[in-house]
Amino acid sequence: MPKLWNDTITAHRQAVRDALLDTTASLVAENGLASVTMTQIAEQAGIGRATLYKYFPDVESIMRAWHERRVGGHLQQMAEIVERGGSVEQRLEKVLGTYAMIDHEHHHGELVAVLHQGGHVGHAQAHLQELVRALLVEGAEAGVVRSDVPADELARYSLSALSATSSLRSKAAVRRLVTVTLSGLRAQTDG
């Protein structure tokens, strides 16, 4: 087969896959994970059940793929903030603020345990940790981030501190948490 044809097949498969993730995610959001079936998904997506099973073995695996795609999107979003320029302080504030808001908005409900079963969450966490670490190194060199603590430890501190968002009720509280977390990172002038 010519290369162009292969590319077309790959693009087609990707488009079907994306549509299946979207369809399943909205069915699950409406009805809850437990009540959505593969038959419903096939019907809603307008493909045969046999075709659906060529893509995914069950509803949970579709939801994990959907979550993986979303987590990937969030990481991409944060990497873009880091690269976009602006002062290191602004970028740090933006990255941590974005992370905190995502964490706050998405970490609710029964789905979390299922979605986090894949290894992708661990990988994303490691990737994010590295992204924040690099930014902190840059900040320490610029004299705005404390240099008495290794950047690796400061990155762990930041992500742990921000995990408190899951227990906060308002966006204002999330913003305050980001402010407090950033205070801990700042270059210290006192003894």
Residue ranges in contact with a copy of itself by CB under 8 A: 146, 148-150, 153-154, 156-157, 159-164, 167-168, 173, 176-177, 179-186, 188
Direct distance between the N- and C-terminal alpha carbons of the chain, in angstroms, rounded to an integer: 71
Nearer to a copy of itself, 114 or 149 (CB): 149
CA distances from 12 to 69, 153, 174 (A): 17, 44, 41
Residue 144 beta carbon to a copy of itself: minimum distance, rounded to whole angstroms = 12
Residue 128 beta carbon to a copy of itself: minimum distance, rounded to whole angstroms = 14
Nearer to a copy of itself, 44 or 163 (CB): 163
Residue 181 beta carbon to a copy of itself: minimum distance, rounded to whole angstroms = 6
Inter-residue contact 33 to 112 (CB < 8 Å): no
Tokens encoding 49:
């059940």
Helix H or strand E segment including 78: helix 59-83
Nearer to a copy of itself, 35 or 167 (CB): 167
| CA dihedral angle for residue 151, residue 156, residue 158, residue 160, rounded to 10 degrees | -170
Give the span between the Cα atoms of 109 and 182, in whole angstroms: 28
User: Residue 145, SS3?
Assistant: strand
Nearer to a copy of itself, 14 or 188 (CB): 188
Nearer to a copy of itself, 73 or 150 (CB): 150
Residue 164 beta carbon to a copy of itself: minimum distance, rounded to whole angstroms = 4
Residue 114 beta carbon to a copy of itself: minimum distance, rounded to whole angstroms = 18
